[in-house]
């Protein structure tokens, strides 16, 4: 499975907000430049009201959980998973299957800042997280094969085994719709009649797409 | 399913550490008394070295993630899940199925402090999170029925459907063994040959224990 957390609400603080007092205060407290800090809805709530789509932005926590689940999964340990994050600014991060992410949110936010500022993370000459400018559409073209996009009002879907060699796209935002245009490049499916948080969708896909013999 | 996150590493800063400079500094920054702040391994790393089991304590993040998965699950929304957290100090929290927890870790930590300091959380006269002093053993006695405890070297287990009307115990700590004594009150099982993070175990149990028709 190629797993893409797409339109993820992860970004550095955008120019329009750099002068806001709350933004400057939180950056100062961390000893960082505001332009090198992650936008965080729980810290920058008041400033976000002045931003387009402010009600859904600054949610690295959603991607954090999705990644912890994906990278710790048995499928990933067996080399059957390939994990990407695509952000609202059309940046694509690719994660080495053996990268160990911080479990603590504040440390994860620091890691994302490093990736976005430095263009990736390396260890002993090997790249653990890469970053490139790429739209969701071009990422799908690059990966090829069948792609499924999960959304609440997609087509009822239960044949999880067919996800196995495909690309699965899960939205990395709290509510609303995908903002990326993917035209007709993927089937839009729903795995439950209800709205799910992104991590619940990741967890169901991981547990059901792979053969039961992956467990006992 | 009764789900118990057991021996969870959630506690207020213990007396032995209240005088440590790092502990006092983090409390002051948040405008709280040190004794009313949560122990947090990412903030109190140096102080934890002086504490018994210091290498595993202060990990509310693990429980946070397990709870977000459990409470957002379709099983929980259909009233088929009953969620508890049992801590290393033998405190048991019980969560109303419709409680909405903060997604952000720092806010969740604040909520846990409220629960531990005030004995619970109420909203409009109804208790959303309760707290009582109770050992894991007495909780199991109170719940009755079959109980399964997940651990790496438990008996190979794959008949997930039998978890459906039972109690499932998952450790809320990063590594090591359960510290609670449960005698022979539960079957010790392993759902995969490998060590799983607590949230991976929760996610697999939730996705596989319930009938597929819960989804589409």
Question: pLDDT, tens digit, for every residue of B32-58?
Answer: 999 999 999 999 999 999 999 999 999
| Residue in B closest to A103 by C-alpha | B61
Q: Report chain B residues whose CB lies below 8 A from the CB of A207.
A: 203-204, 206-208
Interface contact A200-B73, CB threshold 8 A: yes
The answer to whether residues B190 and B153 touch, using CB atoms and an 8 Å cutoff, is yes
Residue A90, min C-alpha distance to chain B (Å): 24
Cα gap B84→A141, rounded to integer Å: 45
Report the pLDDT averaged over residues B104-111.
Answer: 95
Beta carbons of B200 and A106 less than 8 Å apart = no
Read off the pLDDT of residues A9-25 as tens digits, 9 standing for 90 and up: 999 999 999 999 989 99
Looking up tokens 């029925």, which residue turns up? B145
Query: HEC profile for chain B?
Result: CEEEEEEECCCECCHHHCCCHHHHHHHHHCCCCHHHCECCCCCCHHHHCCCCCCCCCCCHHHHHHHHHHHHHCHHHHCCCCEEEEEECCCEEEEECCCCCCCCCHHHHHHHHHHHHHHCEEEECCEEEEEEEECCHHHHHHHHCCCEEEEEEEEEECCCHHHHCCCEEEEECCCCCCCCCCCCCCCEEEECCCCCCCHHHHHHHHHHHHCCHHHCC
pLDDT per position as a tens digit, A125-166: 899 999 999 999 999 999 999 999 999 999 999 889 899 899
- Split at pLDDT 50, 70, 90, the class of B4 is very high
| Region B108-126 average pLDDT | 95
For residue A32, what are its two tokens?
Answer: 């960082």
Q: B59 contacts in A (CB within 8 Å)?
A: 103
A78-95 residue pLDDT tens:
999 999 999 999 999 999
Q: Indicate the pLDDT class of residue B213, thresholds 50, 70 and 90.
A: confident
Contact list, A107 vs chain B (CB under 8 Å): 42
For chain A, report the end-to-end CA distance as a whole number of angstroms: 20
Sort strands A82-87 and B147-156 into parallel, antiparallel or unpaired: unpaired
Tokens of A149: 């996009």
Whole-angstrom Cα distance, residue B167 to residue A152? 31
Q: Which pLDDT value is given to residue B216?
A: 65
Contact A61 B203 (CB under 8 A): no
Q: Quote the minimal CA–CA distance from A96 to chain B in Å.
A: 19
Spell out the residues 6+ positions from residue A149 whose beta carbon is closer than 8 angstroms to its own: A6, A169, A178, A182, A186, A187, A188, A189
pTM: 0.94
Whether this model's ipTM surpasses 0.85 comes out as yes
- In the prediction, which pLDDT does A216 show? 65
- pLDDT score recorded for residue B82: 97
The string of pLDDT tens digits covering residues A178-211 is: 999 998 899 999 998 788 999 999 999 998 888 7
A52 φ, ψ to 5°?
-55, 140
Residue at token pair 């390396």: A122
pLDDT at A77 over 80: yes
Contact yes or no for B208 and A207 at CB 8 A? yes
């Amino acid at each position: 499975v190629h797993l893409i957390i797409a339109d993820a609400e992860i970004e550095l603080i955008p120019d329009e907000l750099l002068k806001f007092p709350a933004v400057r205060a939180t950056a100062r407290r961390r000893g960082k430049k505001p332009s090198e800090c992650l936008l965080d809805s729980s810290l920058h709530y008041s400033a976000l009201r002045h931003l387009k789509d402010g009600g859904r932005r600054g949610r690295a926590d959603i991607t954090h959980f999705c990644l912890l689940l994906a990278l710790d999964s048995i499928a990933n340990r067996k080399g059957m998973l390939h994990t990407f994050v695509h952000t609202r600014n059309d940046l694509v991060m690719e994660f080495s299957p053996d990268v160990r992410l911080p479990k603590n949110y504040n440390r994860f936010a620091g890691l994302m800042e490093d990736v976005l500022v430095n263009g990736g993370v390396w260890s002993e000459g090997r790249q653990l997280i890469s970053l490139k400018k790429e739209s969701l559409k071009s990422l799908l073209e690059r990966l090829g094969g069948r792609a499924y996009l999960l959304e609440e009002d997609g087509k009822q879907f239960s044949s999880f085994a067919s996800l196995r060699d495909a690309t699965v796209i899960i939205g990395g935002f709290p509510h609303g719709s995908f903002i990326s245009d993917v035209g007709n490049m993927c089937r839009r499916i729903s795995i439950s009649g209800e709205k799910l948080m992104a991590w619940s969708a990741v967890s169901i896909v991981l547990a059901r797409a792979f053969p039961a013999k992956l467990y006992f």
